Structure 1
Amino acid sequence: MGRDEHDCPVCGQRVTTVVRRYKTLGAWVPKWVAGPCRNTECEAYADPAAETAAGPGPGPRSGAKGGPAPGNP
């Protein structure tokens, strides 16, 4: 596999590794990618407070298949 450590493509500072996932052949597969840059002087800087205010992102869809049948509690 690839390196365990990632660098910011703009400033070159070491960044954390985060897990993203993608679906292939019906299964979710993890992919480790570079996280946001925390260098305040970098053009690609990502403010941690802005990220938490935006939320973690889309989660499981509500109302998807697998709920109770109509008329059953």
Structure 2
Amino acid sequence: MDSEKACPVCGQPVETVVRRHKTLGAWVPTWVAGPCRNPKCEAYSGGDAEPVTERRPGPPEAKEPHPLSQAKKP
């Protein structure tokens, strides 16, 4: 990351945010320009932060044991 990202509309420096995409089964980080915080800019994005749209998986559900695993061994 050699240089700061800038708003394409007003040219003001913007923060760098990390996005991710899946490549060959692995999540790869990508650094992109964040939203513009200049209230006079057309690309201004009001608010403090983007809402979280992803949910982390919860604990795995308990499964019933397989019938063969409960069979008596001779």
The reply to whether TM is greater than 0.5 is: yes
What is the TM-score with the length of structure 2 in the denominator? Answer: 0.70
Q: Tell me the SS of whatever aligns to 1:56.
A: coil
Tell me the distance in 2 between the aligned counterparts of 1:3 and 1:33. Answer: 13
Aligned to 2:55: 59
CA displacement at 1:5 relative to structure 2: 1.0
TM-score normalised according to structure 1 size: 0.71
Partner residue, 1:9: 8
Q: Please state how far the C-alpha of 1:15 moved relative to its aligned partner.
A: 0.2
Aligned counterpart, 1:18: 17
Structure with greater helix percent? 1
2:46 equivalent to 1:70:
no
Contact 1:38 1:47 in 2 (8 A): yes
| Percent identity for Structure 1 against Structure 2 | 54
CA RMSD of aligned residues (A): 2.4
2:7 counterpart letter in structure 1: C
Count of residues in Structure 1 that have an aligned counterpart in Structure 2: 65
